[in-house]
Amino acid sequence: MSSRWCRHPLAAAAALVAAFVSSCVDGVAPDKPAAFACKCAADKPCPADVCDLQIELSTKTCAGKVNKVEVLLDDQLEPGVVEYGAPRRTCATIPRGGVKKLYARSDTAWQWIEDIQCPPAGPADSQGVTVVRVLNCSTSAQP
C-alpha cells in the first residue's frame, strides 16, 4: 500500500489520528495489545447495555486482494488485524440504541466506512447483541 494512508488518515479524534500517522508502516499499523478491558469476548457475552461488532472479510471477494485489515470503531483502534475468512469480534462496543462509525482499511487501497447501529435493548434482554458485518472487497458491493 502506498503511504497515502499515512498522509491522509480518516478523520477521528486528534490523538488517534496522530497515533495512526505515527504508526503507519506500509499502510497498516502494527498489532498492539488493547489498552482497555474488552467487555465482550467469544467466551464472555456482552453486557445487555452494549453491542459489539463481528467483522469478516469475504473470502469470495477479498481473497488475493487484501491480506490484513485494521479496524477503528469511532475513536477506538482494535487490537490486531482481521484476515479474510476469519471472523473477528471487536473489543470496542456501541451503547444500545447508539451509532458508531466503522472504519476498516487494508494493506491495499481498499477501505470500508459505515455507520453501525446497535439496536435498543428490550426489557427481557439479558445480554448484548453482536452485530455482524461481512465486508466485501469489490467496489460495487460497498455501502
For the ranges 25-34, 64-73, 74-83, the lowest mean pLDDT is seen at 25-34
pLDDT over 60 at 77, yes or no: yes
Is the whole-model pTM more than 0.85? Answer: no
pLDDT over 90 at 13, yes or no: no
Q: Contact 91/136 with Cβ under 8 angstroms?
A: no
| Average confidence (pLDDT) over 55-74 | 90
Q: Which domains are seen in the chain, by residue range?
A: 38-141 (2.60.40)
In the chain, % of residues over pLDDT 90: 41
Q: Contact 93/39 with Cβ under 8 angstroms?
A: yes
